[in-house]
Amino acid sequence: MKRFTILFMLAFVLMPGLNMQAQVSHGGSPYSMVFQLADEYQHINLQQPDMKSIHDEDLINDADRGPAPRRMGVSVVTDLNTHNAGTWTAIPGLGKVWRLQIEIKEALALGVYYSDFYLPEGGELFLYNANKKQILGAYTHENNPTANLFSTEFVQGDKVTLEYFQPETVAEEARIHISELAYAYRDIDFSFSSGEREAWWCMIDVACSEGDNWQNQIKGAARISIKIGFNYYWCSGSLINNTDNDRKNYFLTASHCGGSANAGDLNQWIFYFNYEAATCGGSASGYNSKTGCSLKAKDPSQADAGSDFYLVEINGSIPNSYDVFYNGWNRTNDNTEADSGVGIHHPAGDIKKISTYKTPLQSSTFWNGIPGGTHWKLLWAETENGKSIMQGGSSGSPVFDEYGRIMGDLTGGYTSNSCTNPSPAYYGKLWYSWDKNGTTPSTQLKGWLDPENTGIEKLPGISWEIILPTADFSADTTELIQGDTAWFTDESEPGIMAWSWNFDGALPDTSSERNPWTIYSDTGYFDVSLKVVNADGEDSTMKTAYIHVNQLLPPDAQFTADITEIQAGETIHFSDTSANEPTSWYWEFEGGSPPSSTQQNPAIRFNSAGAYDIKLVATNLGGSDSLVKEEYILVGWVGVEELAGPTDFRVYPNPGTGIFVLEFSSDINEPLVLEVSDTYGKLIRRQTLENLGKTFVLDLSRENEGVYFVKTISGNRQAVKKVSLVK
């Protein structure tokens, strides 16, 4: 078996003082206290469980356990009711009181479980401990469960008193049938001062700064008092939204939390909301709870071969005063929007804590080796108030992406996990829980969280309260230049599900993205509008003349070439150096191949000798500009030096096939002697040229292929060039 731990160490924590806000109850004080009735009523002692056997079992289970919780309490079975136990005491003119004290030696706390629970309208039930500092109730007919199964919270110590008041105007009898008591023998703490808790010292309260941006998610998370057969545990979890947005009381936790619980057990689970400190490092001032649930779907393998999810529906309605939130979800297998986030949980059953991660969730096969990964792995980060992690009792708690959507529920980590040696945490993926643990609705989240099969992959959360959306947005800048891109950020709330943007004067001019971008090409002032939709309605906003687009300066066309004098057949690389950021280019290359181009930096081949013009037209949204460089490219010149004097010349094409052009620096008006010799010094031609002008055509087409020297002589000045004749 794998050596890991399910983070499931349990600790029940209740609050001292009278009439604390707990299960759906109505406050008040027990009538025996108000009327100072004598403590003359039946006290029953039940036999203590065999603690040696229980401890031996725990040693085995705690040493090497798979996906299973750590036990903190066991059942003591009984059969007590208002007819076979307890004492009735009359209160003249008002009604009567039934009281019963139950004691089980050395219990740290006692929880009362009922196989039949019914209170008539007008009746009130209270529970309290021996010193009467902890009082639960009043429970009334509004607490009557549909299945008649009920449970009340743990009462500190080894004695618990039940007190039922029946007004004399009520004839209908109550049914208070106690079938068992939960005997808590470890992992239970009734200390409420800071620093004396079961949770480890590094845990961070949700009231600290780390929780500031997660208030809705905090409202959805809760702890669970779990009954499985004759054993008791703590877990964590969260209310979760569905695509109908109908505020159905679906609650997600871990399958190993539910274990083998049957329908009767589930009807006696207790869900605690708002059990948290009011200030960072403070103590809790109250909580709200609901009793009972029904199973909808689960991973039947309890993480051995799946994602360890467990979905229930809490019985009845949750009072508005609880101010709960149904958390949204992200069922993708993509960590793009999970670069950072939090886990919210009740470690060791303690007040609500928050843990932060700042590196992306990683897909992991660690837990059961299934390809593709059933779990997310994360590492906890240091934050302002420390490095909060996970602990026993955190199991089933949600992990959120950066947009506050559940991506999974906690399975566990390494046995070495501690504040000084934090373990990675492993959360069963919502992606896998959606439809990959099995093929029936009882093994999938899909049919419950998307009942109309919409295919939605990311759903925002929703408050218990009907709240219409408020549309709002901002842009990264409102002053742009033609061609600039504007990025928009949606700032609407709460729970936005759909966006419809309109951008006057832009492309694209519409979007359904949450945070879109668009490009502005025209100048002027432009409106932007946004319509948003949440589960409760829609809202629109328009910001008039919100975007100002200024004229873009037209380009100043400029270019260079890597070389301007080449031989025929060589290639030149041209570079655009235009100012003001042109967006398109048109080149013309006289004598080039190709003769034109729309590339920014083209490469052009020149196959024929000559002096060629180059033209560039550069364009942007502000306009166009052109530049022509005449005779910029020289092809086939011999040498690249400046002409030394009036009789100096260039020859092209060179090499040539017979016809060569001699180009002088200026018109030659004096007689000029021209001589052509071969490489052996043999004079091939000699002639005197008069009124020559600037160019002269030398025809050597009848000569043999080879190299020749062309010499010009004027007085005592002469110039010699070498030409190649190719046939």
Distance CA 422, CA 414 (A): 9
Determine whether 48 is exposed, middle or buried from the number of CB atoms within 10 Å of its CB (0-12, 13-18, 19+). Answer: middle
Contact 236, 222 (CB under 8 A): yes
Whether 308 is catalytic is: yes
**Cα–Cα dist 333/307, whole Å:** 13
Catalytic residue among 395, 397, 423, 492: 395
Q: How far apart are the first and last CA of the chain?
A: 89
Give the strand pairing for 537-550 and 479-481: parallel
Among 158, 205, 299, 308, the one annotated catalytic: 308
Give yes or no for a contact between 390 and 411, defined as CB atoms under 8 angstroms apart: no
Task: Output the CA torsion sign for 538, 518, 515, 512.
Answer: positive
256 labelled catalytic: yes
Residue 623, burial from CB neighbour count under 10 angstroms (0-12, 13-18, 19+): middle
Amino acid at the residue 324:
V
Active-site position among 177, 256, 345, 346: 256
Do residues 490 and 501 lie in contact, with contact meaning Cβ atoms separated by under 8 Å? Answer: no
CB of 198 within 8 A of CB of 13?
yes
Q: Is residue 225 within 8 Å of 49, Cβ to Cβ?
A: no
Give the 3-state DSSP-derived string for 647-712, with helices as H, strands as E and coil as C: CCEEEECCCECCEEEEEEEEEECCCEEEEEEECCCCEEEEEEECCCEEEEEEECCCCCCEEEEEEE
Map tokens 């303690």 to a residue. Answer: 350
Q: Which residues pair with 317 in a beta bridge?
A: none
Q: What distances in angstroms separate CA 613 from CA 588, 589, 633, one per listed residue? A: 8, 7, 7
- For 182, 225, 377, the CA distances from 179, given in Å and listed in that order, are 10, 17, 42
Q: Supply the DSSP symbol for 554.
A: P
Catalytic residues: 256, 308, 395
